[in-house]
Amino acid sequence: MSRIVVGVIFSVLSLVLMVPSAPAVTIAGRVVGADGQGIAHAVVFLQALPAGVQQPTQTQPAVMDQVHKTFVPAVLPVVVGSAVHFPNHDQIHHHVYSFSRTKSFELPLYKGEEASPVLFDKAGVVKIGCNIHDWMAAVVLVVPTPFYAVTNEAGEFTVSGLPTGILPLAAWHELSQTKVEETIQQIRVEQDMVGVTFSLSLAPARTRLPVQGVRGSR
């Protein structure tokens, strides 16, 4: 290879390395109810990527565990295309299932980590249950982009690593009476932002009590 060609390649590589990558930004705020109080376990997520920004191709495996006859976590957001593992760390059998339109599946009676992961390939809400323990319930929320966060007990959230541009940010909660599309805020973001607020109207929570007897003791 001639010195001229080597010099040209080196110059091109130098220019590429000198081009700064687009900055990643953070949006922080709260999800509140009609009374102004923070809402825990809400999910705030980027509904769509700005024009020209490509969706990351790699997704990390996610886990919804089963401990003390409870799904952990009760709300699990994952990006479309994620595989979710459902390990059973109880010393009893569980039978995990969902009849949701977004994803329908069954993991028959098993202990430990015998069950195969489940691929969630469509955005939407997937309600999870156990066919043995009726009170066990959880939600896998499949979101369209890998930018999301779950609110803490004070209703606070922080979504990090976002691209700059006009970002459609949405909020969801299992008990929300506000449709997701009605929560979308088109936010122009060039640098880190704080103070973004979402307001949701929640339905009363339903209490699911443990079922006593043979089914509950398996």
DSSP-assigned states of every residue in 25-51: EEEEEEEE-TTS-B-TT-EEEESSPPT
More confident residue, 59 or 97: 97
Q: Whose structure tokens read 């929570």?
A: 205
More confident residue, 46 or 209: 46
Sign of CA dihedral 73, 74, 75, 80: positive
Judge contact between 155 and 37, C-beta under 8 A.
yes
Rounded CA separation 133/166 (Å): 45
Give the DSSP H/E element, type plus range, for residue 98: strand 94-99
Tell me 112's DSSP state.
B
For residue range 142-175, list pLDDT tens digits in order. Answer: 999 999 999 999 999 999 999 999 999 999 999 9
19-32: average pLDDT: 81
The pTM of this model reads 0.82
Judge contact between 75 and 141, C-beta under 8 A.
yes
Q: What is the dihedral of CA 218, 131, 212, 91, to 10 degrees?
A: 30
